[in-house]
């Protein structure tokens, strides 16, 4: 069974803290994505990556960075968390040119 695993389902952090969200996929997919989902705004793309060490800004990259040191792992980093980054974060992967995204279960982050 194919799987995308996100390291934490729920996190509570304080303003200014550094936050790491980890995502691992076992399908040997080239593409990996980080989205955030907020009520009324849908899924918005933060960053994506089509290969190891490659990264591209999505539609809302401000306040975030990413790391892809290995094909199976794509990490999202909040250097200094702010309250407006409270959200559900969804990681996904897909094989090139297929459009079928496989999602992790999501990480709900609350920044106080």
Residue 64 touches another protein, criterion: CB under 8 A: no
Exactly one of 18, 20, 26, 51 binds another protein (CB under 8 A); that residue is 51
**Residue number with CB closer to another protein (59 or 62):** 59
* Ranges of H-type helices in the chain: none
CA atoms within 13 A on the CB side of 8: 15
14: tokens are 């304080």
Residue 48 touches another protein, criterion: CB under 8 A: yes
Which residues are 25's β-sheet partners? 4
- Binding residues for another protein, rule: CB under 8 A, are 30-31, 33, 35, 40-45, 48-51, 54, 56, 58-59, 90, 94, 96-97, 99-101, 103-106
């Amino acid at each position: 069974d194919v799987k995308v695993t996100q390291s934490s389902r729920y996190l509570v952090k304080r303003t200014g803290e550094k936050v790491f969200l980890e995502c691992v996929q076992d399908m040997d997919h080239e593409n990996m994505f980080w989205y955030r989902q907020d009520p009324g705004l849908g899924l918005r793309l933060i960053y994506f990556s089509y290969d190891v060490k490659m990264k591209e800004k999505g539609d809302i990259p401000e306040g975030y960075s990413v790391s892809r040191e290995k094909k199976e792992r794509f990490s999202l980093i909040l250097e200094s968390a702010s309250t407006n980054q409270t959200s559900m974060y969804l990681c996904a992967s897909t094989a090139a040119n297929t459009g079928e995204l496989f999602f992790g279960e999501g990480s709900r982050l609350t920044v106080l």
